[in-house]
Amino acid sequence: MSERNRATEFRESVSGTNVELGYAGIKTFLKSDTRDVDDVADVDAAVLGVPYDGAVSNRPGARYGPDAIRRASGWWAYLSAYKGGLTNMRTEKTVDFDDLTVADCGDVPVFPMDSETTAESIAAHVATVASQAFPVLLGGDHYCTFPAFRGFAEGAGHDSVGFVQIDAHTDTVSESPVFGSEFHGSSTARIADSPYVDYDSVSQIGIRGYESPDFFEFADETGLDLYTMRDISERGVGPVIEEAVAAAAEDTDAVYVSFDIDAVDPSVAPGTGTPVPGGLSADQALEIVEVLGAHDAVGAADLMEVSPRYDSTDGTQRLAAYLLVTLLERAFAE
């Protein structure tokens, strides 16, 4: 009997061999199958990693985010296989992750010393996925969102795309004397300069810290839909995110969601390059993605700025994976 047949015989005769432990196996998102980007038409969502942090203005390390998020996501795939489906204790709904079909397309080619070529690579790969399935991007620094947004609009054939940004920072710097116009603090400015969206279809949630002296005047003049952490504290996160996504979806063909993990308070998610105190709780972050995942207009999402080296507990990437799993669950598995 060949070695292959012995292995098959063992797997067929021993109960539990079909359950892969969370920390075992090849590290794909939710332990999904690997696919080429041009072969995802039969899945709900296709995942792309962008291991690039050449456009940061503070601490590097987001290049290691995609791998860390993939590793963390294996826990939910394991639980679902082990328990034969799950009950989400937040939503009180039964979830069968077998109903959620995901493919992992690996990492897009990046060029550490060439941001322009990296941006074109991101746009091309996201566009290819967007023509077939729901794109999910694992970052990477937040500059990568700009070419991903453009690739989504082009690949999906949308004339207009709303933008929902969950972030500590507005990323609306048009030009920096130090970093220029192509860095992670300029991504939303570049998006608003694109032919697919104006600021009046951009919603920002969780903003805090410091911006330019005239920022509130800028927001009023451009129509930017701005929700600071104070707004969330005073109104509650539920009403804020419902209003924000509705504003971004109005008069647009679809909505692109970008979640910068530094939107979450660094006491909860310290593994990021530019932490700012006073952010979202894990519970508030999960409520945000629950609402977004259930909204019909949302057509693409990314999770950016996870820098696992700054979190020895692995909690940041665990939360990042949980946020994406929750969003996809609400969109496809309920």
262 labelled binding-site residue: yes
- The β-bridge partners of 166 are 205, 259
Provide the sign of the torsion angle of the four alpha carbons 292, 293, 297, 298, taken in this order.
Answer: positive
Pairwise CA distance, residues 330 & 214, whole Å: 38
Tokens of 302: 């990314």
Burial readout 105-114 (b: 16 or more C-beta within 10 A, e: otherwise): bbbbebeeee
Q: Which candidate, 162, 318, 166, 191, places its Cα nearest to that of 255?
A: 162
Pairwise CA distance, residues 191 & 148, whole Å: 10
Q: Which candidate, 233, 231, 315, places its Cα nearest to that of 269?
A: 315
- The β-bridge partners of 86 are 95
> Exposed, middle or buried: residue 2 (CB in 10 Å: 0-12, 13-18, 19+)?
exposed
251 labelled binding-site residue: no
Pairwise CA distance, residues 101 & 275, whole Å: 34
> Strand, coil or helix: what is 104?
strand
Pairwise CA distance, residues 133 & 75, whole Å: 24
171 labelled binding-site residue: yes
Tokens of 104: 């992992």
169 labelled binding-site residue: yes
Q: Rg of the Cα trace of the chain? A: 20
Longest dimension (CA), the chain: 77
Pairwise CA distance, residues 193 & 187, whole Å: 10
Angle between helices 145-156 and 115-130 (to 10 degrees): 40
| Binding residue ranges | 142, 167, 169, 171, 260, 262
| Binding residue ranges for Mn(2+) | 142, 167, 169, 171, 260, 262
